[in-house]
Structures are given as C-alpha cells and as structure tokens.
Amino acid sequence: MKINPANFGDIDPGNRILMGPGPSDVPPRVLQAMSAPCIGHLDPYFLQVMDETQQLLRFLFQTKNPLTIPVSGTGSSGMETCLVNLVEPGDTVLVCVNGVFGTRICDIVQRIGGDLIRIDAPWGRAIDPEDVRRAIQVNRVDIVAVVHAETSTGACSPIKDISKTAHEAGALFLVDMVTSLGGMEVALDEMGIDAAFSGTQKCISCPPGLSPVSFNPKAMEKLQNRKTPVISWYLDMSMVASYWSPERKYHHTAPINMIYGLREALRIIAEEGLEQRWERHRVNHRALVAGIEAMGLSMFVPEEERLPMLNTVLIPDGADDLSVRKALLSQFGLEIGGGLGDLAGKVWRVGLMGHAARPKNVFLFLSALETILKAQGVKVNKGAALDAASSVYDSL
C-alpha cells in the first residue's frame, strides 16, 4: 500500500470559541507548556513536575489526600478508576441518577459485579437527599455515588447533604466532579467526600486526556482491604499510587506533555484564586441567563438548581436545533452542544467553563443567537438580550 504525504495537509481546524459542554477554550500558556520538550517519565525534572502537579491538584480539590493524581485518560477513566478500585462483587452501590452520567455509573457498577440500587430524579432536577435517606433506611449500602454537576442537563445536586446521609449509614461517598471542579466550590475534606474524579477539559481548561482523582484514607482502606484483585490492571490505584509516591515504582509511561499542560492550567487557577474563579463563573452565568430570558427564551433547570458553567436553554418553537448550532459554528466560529438522550432536540447546552467564562463570549453568543433565530423566523425581543446582560455586569 502506498500513501502520498502530499494528500495530507497540515492540521488547521481554524479558530473556535468553545461554549459547549466540553472541551473548553485552552489558554495559550497551557498550549505553550504542552509544546515543551518531551522527556523521560522517570527524568528528575519530570518527577518534580509530578510533585508540583499533585500539590496544585490538592489545592484545587481542597484536600490533604495523599492519593490525589491525574489518571491517564479522560474523565470517564476517572469514573471507572473510582468504581473498579472501590467496588467488589457483591458490594451494594446506591447510584443517584438525574442524567446521562448517572446512568453511566450504573452501567459500570453492574459490569464489575456490584449490586445496584438506583435512585432516579427527573432530568433537569437535582437529586433529593431525602430520596437517598429513604433508600438507605431499607437497604444496606456500601457506597453512595452521585454526579455533582450533571453535564447532560445543567442540574447541580446538593452533595453536602447527601454526604452526611451516606456517612450516617457507614457508606463511602463517591462524587463525579467532571464539570464542577474549577468552576464552583468543591471541598473534599470539608464536604466529607471519600473519593472523587474530574476531567481536565472543562473548567480546568486543559485539553482532554487526564482525569484528576482523589481518594481519602477511608477509600484507601477499602482498596487495601479488598478480597479480590482490582479487575483493571491499568487503573489499579494500589499500583499507580506507587508511581506517584516517593517510591517512583514504574507502572506505565505517563503522558508527559499532557501533565505539563495540566500543571500550567492549575497554576493559572492558583494565580486567579479559587473564590475569584467561582465568582467569575457565577457572574457570567447570571449575565447569560438574563440575556436569554430577556430575548424571550427560557432555561430548562429551575434557578436554585442550575449550574453556573453549563446552561441548558429550551429550544424555542420554530427553531431548528441542528441548523442553529451549525450556523453558530460556520458564521461565528462558536460551538455549543445539543441535548443528549431524552433531551435531544429540546435543549441547547451552553458552556461557560474556565477560560471561556468571559463577558465577551456571553455577548457574542447572545448576539449571534438572536441573529440566527431572527433569520429562522423565530420571534425574539430585539436588542433586549445584550441590554439585560450589560445590566448584570454594570451592577457589580
């Protein structure tokens, strides 16, 4: 077989503004860090980078957990890491489901032989802690798992309350923080979270490819006292932890340049400050919602249960979902997401994550959406969206 290299051009996707459910825009500093020379995964300089990355991750997770590391893989690998390490066949796992990613946790639990108890809430609504309490009262539960920020719907669940209920029952508490980490308050130690995982491509604003995870001493005790081996060799934290500890025991070749990028993204977060970063996400979310509602559109999630970084907008009558998203991309270089599962064709998912959570993006999206909807014959309140968003920023 012959291949003509001339048939393959340079990689050049053009400029995009990423306002979908992820990945988010990546700061130039992160891309520059990733272009640094690749060195060995046991090189003394890289070992120092590993230590610094762990320190910065503990800062972001707000934890003292020694096992706080980036797993080599996307956010779903973090989900699988937590479950394959902490769930043994016969363990009872209560999973809270209010969207796509809760159902994914259920799938993995069943694949590894856990006994699943499933609590469902309507898509677009938070998990009710009382539902968790009632389920625990009639079932012995080893682990309670919940998605903090459900990316498929834009709903935020009250993890502090659910954590308390889980611990009162003697269960471990596992939280999916793929979308929330870096964009809203997350405090593992204070909130009593035993194990958590996230992804680099959302509010951390690093390319996809790593999944930060953190296990507290209770989770590590569960891992160390397993009666059966972890079913995944690659994700076995009892071995991977030795590579990230002072032992530096080889396990697999770490993605060197991805970790460069993560370290730089975490350094940017530390420079901004956690509280300031959370507030930036809140303010831009308020401005976007004000503009959407002034335009005459509606949000999908009730106000008190909304995420600041993932906004689900109900698609108005007369608007064509796919053609609107295509026009945003082709005419304005702006990407948003469509609905998943039961929400396909019913909502748009608009991300304000990390580096993309900025007033200029809010204004661009609102003006672009108004232009496209008017072209499709959808009635909108002309100019009202930008005025409403401006009022939010002016009130600060």
Average pLDDT, the chain: 97
Residue 60 domain flag: yes
Q: What is the pLDDT of residues 40-68, one digit of tens each?
A: 999 999 999 999 999 999 999 999 999 99
Integer CA distances (angstroms), 190 to 84, 159, 185, 194, in order? 25, 11, 11, 11
> What per-residue confidence (pLDDT) applies to 1?
86
Tell me the residue range of the domain where 373 lies. Answer: 274-394
Tell whether 222 and 280 lie within a shared domain.
Answer: no
Tell whether 290 and 236 lie within a shared domain.
Answer: no
| 116: exposed, middle or buried (Cβ count in 10 Å: 0-12, 13-18, 19+) | middle
Give the end of a domain, one of 240, 271, 302: 271
Tell whether 279 and 250 lie within a shared domain.
Answer: no
- The count of structural domains within the chain is 2
Q: Which amino acid is at 146?
A: V
> What per-residue confidence (pLDDT) applies to 112?
96
> What per-residue confidence (pLDDT) applies to 396?
87
Q: Percent of the chain having pLDDT more than 70?
A: 100
Tell whether 267 and 279 lie within a shared domain.
Answer: no
> What per-residue confidence (pLDDT) applies to 380?
95
Long-range contacts (CB closer than 8 Å, 24 or more residues apart) made by 31-37: 31/261, 32/264, 33/260, 33/261, 33/263, 33/264, 34/207, 34/257, 34/258, 34/260, 34/261, 34/264, 35/257, 36/257, 36/260
Tell whether 37 and 57 lie within a shared domain.
Answer: yes
Residues linked to residue 314 through DSSP beta bridges, in sequence order = 347
Give the end of a domain, one of 203, 237, 271: 271
Residue 14 domain flag: no
* Residue (of 90, 96, 153) closest to 121 by Cα position: 96
In this structure, are residues 368 and 328 in contact, taking their beta carbons and an 8 Å threshold? yes
DSSP class of residue 218?
A: H
Residues linked to residue 212 through DSSP beta bridges, in sequence order = 70
Residue 373 in this model has a pLDDT that exceeds 90: yes
Quote the tokens at residue 393: 């920023």
Tell whether 210 and 63 lie within a shared domain.
Answer: yes
> What per-residue confidence (pLDDT) applies to 107?
98
Quote the tokens at residue 103: 């159902």
Tell whether 302 and 257 lie within a shared domain.
Answer: no
Tell whether 177 and 315 lie within a shared domain.
Answer: no
Q: What is the pLDDT of residues 319-359, one digit of tens each?
A: 999 999 999 999 999 999 999 988 999 999 999 999 999 99
The helix (H) or strand (E) run that includes residue 147 is: strand 143-147
Q: Percent of the chain having pLDDT more than 90?
A: 96
Give the end of a domain, one of 219, 237, 271: 271
Q: What is the CATH number of the domain that holds 260?
A: 3.40.640.10
| The pairing of beta strand 149-150 with beta strand 155-156 | antiparallel
Residue 19 domain flag: no
Tell whether 208 and 327 lie within a shared domain.
Answer: no
Q: What is the CATH number of the domain that holds 360?
A: 3.90.1150.10
Q: What mean pLDDT do residues 184-213 have?
A: 98
Residue 223 domain flag: yes
Q: What is the pLDDT of residues 62-93, one digit of tens each?
A: 999 999 999 999 999 999 999 999 999 999 99
Residue 18 domain flag: no
Residue 4 domain flag: no
Q: In which order are the strands placed within the sheet that holds 337-338?
A: 310-314, 347-351, 337-338
Q: What is the pLDDT of residues 282-297, one digit of tens each?
A: 999 999 999 999 999 9
> What per-residue confidence (pLDDT) applies to 247?
87
Q: What mean pLDDT do residues 179-192 have?
A: 98
Residue 74 domain flag: yes
CA dist 4 and 25 (Å) reads: 34
Tell whether 138 and 172 lie within a shared domain.
Answer: yes
Tell whether 176 and 314 lie within a shared domain.
Answer: no
Q: What is the pLDDT of residues 102-156, one digit of tens each?
A: 999 999 999 999 999 999 999 999 999 999 999 999 999 999 999 999 999 999 9
The residues near 273 (Cβ < 8 Å, ≥ 6 apart) are: none
Residue 216 domain flag: yes
Quote the tokens at residue 233: 């060799």
Tell whether 45 and 115 lie within a shared domain.
Answer: yes
What is this structure's pTM? 0.96
